[in-house]
A and B are shown apart, each in its own frame.
Chain A
């Protein structure tokens, strides 16, 4: 029986792995199931729809059509590895797993296979050091930038002085949630605020005790590194204990519509960071007419224009720009993963280019180099307006304190390099 199953699967696998010539293959490791699906689905929709738009409008990138291979990971690292292995044989150009856990799995594997990974605002922060992590990019910003941007915003609110303030960090008890702690500790020492850490275990539905502790300790501000169902529960719990919403700031993975709508009016005033501005871009109308109206929408098509949809679209735009750059550098349209890496390392995003693509001001201007894979690190603060049901950008892009982050990145990447016998250098 087992042999028969294996034979059937071998047949299926060969059918699936039949090489498709002259296509740009982009895997989409998405998750539309499980406790993180609410965030995974709109991101994936935006990601796929943008490539569908490029196919419909421009015939792909540089004349080469894009083929998306979607693979469901369920935010689970084992399935993520399986997805990686099953898609890499098809000529995958770039991976964006949208999961810090899966990113940690893929960094060594993709480096050995020489396929670039783009982890936009997640993943391993020290990958910003391109000399150690040649194949990993995390522009335009990373978690340590986010922590610093949040603190800089609070500094601005408190006219430059946070000494004696109490800040609580509510975080997802995983590699993702633990990432900002080191930076926040350094910042708390520097600015003299008191940091308390409250871990929330996967999946995050149970947070009563954490919020009771917040009620007892009365911190001035609460920062949150949450994802999936954890965000909705946290916003609800904050409302339940009457924590002032304007002092509750989520990171950019804790600031989408579905995170705040379950709490209704009570969520009004909740703030979050964002690495991309969400407004009504002209490109969204193009997607509506060329992709959705043509019946090619990814998912159920209901997420168009939401925060995470726009971020997925932004990620796709950055990937497409990198591929275009690679085509320009190497003078061929059918690029390889190694060429895409070169394109990513030479990527430059300007205001003019963003405006040309119909998404003026969606992200900060930045340039990637061989040494710096991290981009500008800027983020903005947005606030939820419950009655209008929209996230309103509250500030312009705020710069992180690079003097704190850069030594930490150098330290962490040096540790990784020595553990793995990597000699830092450009490819």
Chain B
């Protein structure tokens, strides 16, 4: 009913291979971008920015990063929290060492540093897979957190071991520090997310993405047809860590402003991002968005409904949140391993064939 595809013909290869070949999808994509860039910034307040939009945008970047590694290349990683910490601490060291350089450059460089660290920790993936690789990345998680706690150079020898984001500006507008306007926080995260998502989408559609997927689907067969596993796996680790590093830098600098490594980037963070891509959908960019939105919105929605509307005790609602997330993960793993993205894909197919879906 929504999709009216009659007459939507492609006359060139470029038109045929564009990101959204269906006209309706394309209009919707532009409409969402227009709302995100031109409407929300004018209405956003502190609460909406800090409780919903900024964490959603940042986790979406992290989820895209992990999805490239786990969803597209099939390498299970439990080191996301550690890699986010690398991004955050790299950003902090750059911000404090080179205060005159733009924060945007620092965030991108933090992503680059994380990519290098990620590629280094990805080396074992050439020899081990599955559970064993998960354990190796788990080691990365614990090692990195330990490192940032132990070596005081990383936190500039502050007494508490916390890192605090100093105030930085983009085009004269503060984007970090306590005096940041909510729209500025939102916009910098949105710009990074948009660029990252377009980048990720096009990487996964191209040669490199296809080699990742070949490795994921069957690494021996991929090797036989000429995919270089060394290159494919290491690029997956590097690209994935690049995105995760950017999300870690934004998480520290723009969202929280002060971070303690064990608490902010512990193993729970790794699991949270992993749950996002499991619920959202492995191997799908849209799934990364859906999963991040779901897991950011769920506790807030539960709190609003449970505590503010129904007046339940706060601890009951907090426990209920854990129960629901746990149950949903089991549900998705058993019933729909491809997550919300697959549900959406099926719904879309039915809508395209409407009124005679099969």
Query: What residues of chain A have their CB less than 8 Å away from a CB belonging to chain B?
Result: 2, 5, 8-9, 12-13, 15-16, 30, 32-33, 37, 41, 70-72, 74, 76-79, 81-82, 85-86, 88-89, 100-101, 104-105, 108-109, 111-112, 124, 173-175, 178-179, 181-182, 199, 201-202, 412, 419-421
Residues A33 and B315 in contact in the complex (CB < 8 Å), given A82-B51, A175-B161, A202-B263: yes
B116 nearest CB across to chain A (Å): 26
Within 8 A of A (CB), among B262-311: 262-264, 266, 293, 297, 299-301, 303-305, 307-309
Flag if B149 contacts A199 (CB, 8 Å). yes
Q: B residues within 8 A CB of A175?
A: 160-162, 260
A11 nearest CB across to chain B (Å): 9
Residues A111 and B319 in contact in the complex (CB < 8 Å), given A9-B304, A85-B50: no
Flag if A16 contacts B301 (CB, 8 Å). no
CA distance A178 to B318 in the complex (A): 29
Our pick among B47, B305, B318, B319 for the contact of A86 (Cβ within 8 Å) is B47
Q: B residues within 8 A CB of A179?
A: 159-160
Our pick among A8, A9, A77, A112 for the contact of B178 (Cβ within 8 Å) is A112
Flag if A85 contacts B46 (CB, 8 Å). yes
B337 nearest CB across to chain A (Å): 20
> Closest residue of chain A to B47, judged by CB?
A85
Q: Does B179 contact A (CB under 8 A)?
A: yes
CA distance A111 to B179 in the complex (A): 9
A330 nearest CB across to chain B (Å): 26
Flag if A174 contacts B166 (CB, 8 Å). no
Q: Does B228 contact A (CB under 8 A)?
A: no
Flag if A9 contacts B179 (CB, 8 Å). no
Our pick among A33, A109, A173 for the contact of B319 (Cβ within 8 Å) is A33
CA distance A37 to B316 in the complex (A): 13
Flag if A173 contacts B262 (CB, 8 Å). yes
Interchain Cβ contacts under 8 Å between A and B, 12 examples: A33-B319, A77-B264, A78-B55, A78-B264, A89-B47, A101-B263, A112-B179, A174-B263, A175-B160, A175-B162, A181-B159, A412-B159
Flag if B256 contacts A201 (CB, 8 Å). no
Flag if A81 contacts B263 (CB, 8 Å). no
> Closest residue of chain B to A408, judged by CB?
B159
Within 8 A of A (CB), among B193-224: none
Other 15 A-B pairs with CB < 8 A, given A30-B314, A112-B178: A5-B301, A9-B304, A13-B304, A32-B315, A72-B314, A77-B264, A81-B256, A85-B50, A101-B260, A105-B256, A109-B178, A173-B262, A199-B149, A412-B159, A419-B166
CA distance A12 to B306 in the complex (A): 10
Query: Lowest 9 CB-CB distances: which A-B pairs, in order?
Result: A108-B178, A32-B315, A16-B308, A72-B314, A12-B304, A175-B160, A112-B178, A33-B318, A85-B50
> Closest residue of chain B to A34, judged by CB?
B318
Flag if A105 contacts B304 (CB, 8 Å). no
CA distance A15 to B319 in the complex (A): 23
Flag if A108 contacts B256 (CB, 8 Å). no
A194 nearest CB across to chain B (Å): 21
Q: Does B257 contact A (CB under 8 A)?
A: yes
B interface bracket (residues with beta carbon within 8 Å of A): 35 or more
B228 nearest CB across to chain A (Å): 39
Q: B residues within 8 A CB of A16?
A: 304, 308-309
Number of A-B contacts (CB under 8 A): 122
Q: A residues within 8 A CB of B255?
A: 81
Flag if A85 contacts B51 (CB, 8 Å). yes
Q: Does B317 contact A (CB under 8 A)?
A: yes
Q: A residues within 8 A CB of B179?
A: 112
Residues A178 and B161 in contact in the complex (CB < 8 Å), given A12-B308, A82-B51, A419-B166: yes
B274 nearest CB across to chain A (Å): 17
Our pick among B51, B52, B309 for the contact of A12 (Cβ within 8 Å) is B309
Flag if B260 contacts A174 (CB, 8 Å). yes
CA distance A178 to B159 in the complex (A): 7
Q: Does B177 contact A (CB under 8 A)?
A: yes
Our pick among A37, A72, A78, A173 for the contact of B317 (Cβ within 8 Å) is A72
Q: A residues within 8 A CB of B313?
A: 32
B61 nearest CB across to chain A (Å): 16
Q: A residues within 8 A CB of B297?
A: 5, 9
Residues A37 and B304 in contact in the complex (CB < 8 Å), given A16-B309, A178-B161, A199-B149: no
> Closest residue of chain B to A124, judged by CB?
B160
Q: A residues within 8 A CB of B260?
A: 77, 101, 104, 174-175
CA distance A33 to B302 in the complex (A): 15
A250 nearest CB across to chain B (Å): 20
A172 nearest CB across to chain B (Å): 9
Flag if B314 contacts A15 (CB, 8 Å). no
Flag if B159 contacts A86 (CB, 8 Å). no
Our pick among A72, A174, A182 for the contact of B262 (Cβ within 8 Å) is A174
CA distance A419 to B307 in the complex (A): 39
CA distance A367 to B94 in the complex (A): 43
Flag if B257 contacts A108 (CB, 8 Å). yes
Flag if A105 contacts B51 (CB, 8 Å). no
A243 nearest CB across to chain B (Å): 25
CA distance A417 to B264 in the complex (A): 25
Residues A72 and B318 in contact in the complex (CB < 8 Å), given A85-B47, A85-B51, A105-B258: yes
B88 nearest CB across to chain A (Å): 13
A145 nearest CB across to chain B (Å): 15
Q: A residues within 8 A CB of B342?
A: none
Query: What does the 1/0 interface line of B311-327 toward A look like (CB < 8 Å)?
Result: 00111011100000000
Flag if A72 contacts B315 (CB, 8 Å). yes
> Closest residue of chain A to B162, judged by CB?
A175
Our pick among A9, A77, A86 for the contact of B256 (Cβ within 8 Å) is A77
Q: B residues within 8 A CB of A124?
A: 160
CA distance A420 to B166 in the complex (A): 7
Q: Which of A5, A37, A175, A420 has the most CB of B within 10 A?
A: A175
Q: B residues within 8 A CB of A78?
A: 55, 256, 264
Q: A residues within 8 A CB of B308?
A: 12-13, 15-16
A68 nearest CB across to chain B (Å): 11
Q: B residues within 8 A CB of A71?
A: 307, 314
CA distance A104 to B260 in the complex (A): 10
A297 nearest CB across to chain B (Å): 12
Q: B residues within 8 A CB of A41?
A: 315
A108 nearest CB across to chain B (Å): 3
Flag if A202 contacts B262 (CB, 8 Å). yes
